[in-house]
Structure 1
Amino acid sequence: MGSYVSVRGWLECDGAQLATVQKIISAHADDHYSNGWSTPRQHLNWTRYVFYGADIRESALEWFASQLREIARIPASDEDGDLLLGLFLVSHEVNGITEWHVRGGRLITSAADVRHRYLDE
């Protein structure tokens, strides 16, 4: 049957970058796990947020990671040079929890901080 992975987290971007994020998500749509993506009903202030939360099969983890890698490469849209930022906690039912950071135009994975281990209980 395979293992499951709980993926939860968010991305931070500006309005122009959000449009590109949404295009990337649509390009990867699978009518199942892609339903884990969401945005606030109404935009507040200047930062745009995109959230993901779902329990997915381990076999779909690369599908999700490839989206994040593509999203991370979205260039800055203004003179400030701000790239997307994001944090995702990925809890594998066998291998435990890891952190996936979107920063500096890349997807970086690392061991999760011990403070997040309660999410695996």
Structure 2
Amino acid sequence: MGMYTSVRGWMEINFQQREAAEEIVERHRHELYSGGWAFPSAPFNWTLYLFYGGDIRQGEVPWLREQIEQLAAMPPVNEDNDMPTGFFLLTADEREEADAWQIRDGRLDHLPAPSLDWMAG
């Protein structure tokens, strides 16, 4: 059956970056796992939140990471020079470990996740 990693997280981008973000996701189209991406159906207010959630084979984690790194590196589109930001939590039941990906300053930083004991039970 293989080992799986549960991935859930979000990114904040400017609405003007939506098309570029959709192009990045489309370039990395995966028949099964691309379905984990969610884009809001209609814009409101000033921030666009992209979400990803799904259980993916551990061998596909680099596939997702590459997309998120490219999304993180999207150049600013306004005078505030705001870069995408976000957070993703990755857990693998087989290893009972959790990792975090923090998106800021144009990059993805891999960090140990905080304790998730509160989620058990």
The reply to whether TM is greater than 0.5 is yes
**Does the C-alpha gap of structure 1 residues 10 and 120 become closer, same or farther in structure 2, counting only changes over 3 Å?**
farther
Uncovered stretches (5+) of structure 1, i.e. residues with no partner = none
Uncovered stretches (5+) of structure 2, i.e. residues with no partner = none
Percent of aligned pairs sharing the same letter: 36
- 1:98-117 residue pairs with structure 2 within 5 A? 98-114=99-115, 116-117=116-117
Partner of 2:32: 32
Partner of 1:17: 17
Matched, 1:91 2:117: no
Quote how far apart the aligned CAs of 1:75 are.
0.6
Q: What CA distance in whole angstroms lies between the structure 1 residues aligned with 2:56 and 2:119?
A: 16
Quote how far apart the aligned CAs of 1:117 are.
4.0
**Does the C-alpha gap of structure 1 residues 120 and 73 become closer, same or farther in structure 2, counting only changes over 3 Å?**
farther
Aligned residues: 120
**Does the C-alpha gap of structure 1 residues 120 and 30 become closer, same or farther in structure 2, counting only changes over 3 Å?**
farther
CA RMSD between the two structures:
1.4
Q: Which residue identity does 2:102 align to in structure 1?
A: H
Quote how far apart the aligned CAs of 1:9 are.
0.5
Q: More deviation in 34-43 or 50-59? A: 34-43
Partner of 1:70: 70
Quote how far apart the aligned CAs of 1:70 are.
1.0
Aligned partner of residue 25 in structure 2, secondary structure:
helix
| Ranges of 4+ aligned residues in structure 1 off by more than 2 Å | 116-121
